[in-house]
Amino acid sequence: MADLELKGLRKSFGGLEVIKGVDLTVRDREFVVFVGPSGCGKSTLLRMIAGLEPISSGNLLIDGQRENDSEPMDRGLAMVFQSYALYPHMTVEENMGFALRVAKLPKEDRARMVREAAEVLELGHLLSRRPRELSGGQRQRVAIGRAIVRNPKIFLFDEPLSNLDAALRVNMRLELMRLHQRLQATMIYVTHDQTEAMTMADKIVVLRDGRIEQVGAPMDLYNRPANMFVAGFIGAPK
C-alpha cells in the first residue's frame, strides 16, 4: 500500500515562492507523470516528496500519515535522478548494494537482494564491472537497480531518460513500464517529454509556474484540455 497525498504544498526559496499550493492524490500502484516546462517546479516538488527539500507549508501524507518532517530513509521511497551519480570506483554490485550497506544489512542478504534486482534488469552478467565500462543505458539501469534493491513503496524518477539517445529512450520506457507491472509499486515520474507522458502515465499532472493546471488520464487531457497551455503541452492538434 502506498497512497500519497499532497495538501496545499508550498515552497519558497528565500522570498521567492516556487511551489504555490499543490493539491494532489496519488493512488497505490498508480503511474503518475509530472509534466511542464523547465523551471515550473517539477524537481522541487519531487524533492519535497522525497524529503530532500523542506516543505514551507501544507502537508505531505503517505498512507494517511503526515511525513512533512520524517527522514528521507524512513519514507519508503527511492529516487532515480537524471544524472545517475554512480560511484565510479565501485563495481555494479557495490553500487547497487551501497544503500543496503548503509542500512547495515548482513552481507548475505545484500548479495541476494542485489542479485534479484540485477536479474529483473538483466544486469546479472555485469555485476563486477565499473561504471566507465558500461554504456549509458546500462548505467541508467544500474541507477534504477539501486532504487529497486531498497524495495520502496514509491519510486520517484526525475527525468531519468533525458541523457539517453532516442532509440534507447524508447526501450527504457518500455522497460520501466514492465517494471511498474512487475513490482506493483507506486511511481511518480517527472519529464518534459510529451510522448513519455502520453505513453507511460495512468495519470498526467500538468504543472505551470508552481501550480497544477490540470490532472487527468492521458486521453482525457488530450481530448479535453482545460486551456491552451495544456493543449499546447499535451500535443493536441493546433
Binding interface with ligand ADP (CB under 6 A): 13, 18, 36, 38-44
Closest approach, Cβ 76 to ligand ADP, in A, equals: 23
Residue 6 near residue 20 (C-beta atoms within 8 A): no
List all residues 6 or more positions away from 32 whose beta carbon is below 8 Å from its beta carbon.
26, 186, 187, 188, 189, 201, 202, 203, 204, 205
- Provide the 3-class DSSP secondary structure of residue 232: helix
Establish if 138 lies at the interface with Mg ion (CB under 5 A): no
Nearer to Mg ion, 43 or 140 (CB): 43
Nearer to ligand ADP, 35 or 143 (CB): 35
Cell triple for 133: 565500462
Nearer to ligand ADP, 18 or 111 (CB): 18
Nearer to ligand ADP, 36 or 131 (CB): 36
Establish if 140 lies at the interface with Mg ion (CB under 5 A): no
Binding mask 18-57 for Mg ion (x = CB under 5 A): -------------------------x--------------
Residue reference for cell 509556474: 209
C-alpha dist (Å) from residue 195 to 3, 117, 185, 204, 236: 26, 27, 22, 12, 12
Residue 8, contacted partner among Mg ion, ligand ADP, none, CB below 5-8 A by kind: none
Helix (H) or strand (E) holding 48: helix 42-50
Residue 18, contacted partner among Mg ion, ligand ADP, none, CB below 5-8 A by kind: ligand ADP
Residues lying near Mg ion in the complex (CB under 5 A): 43
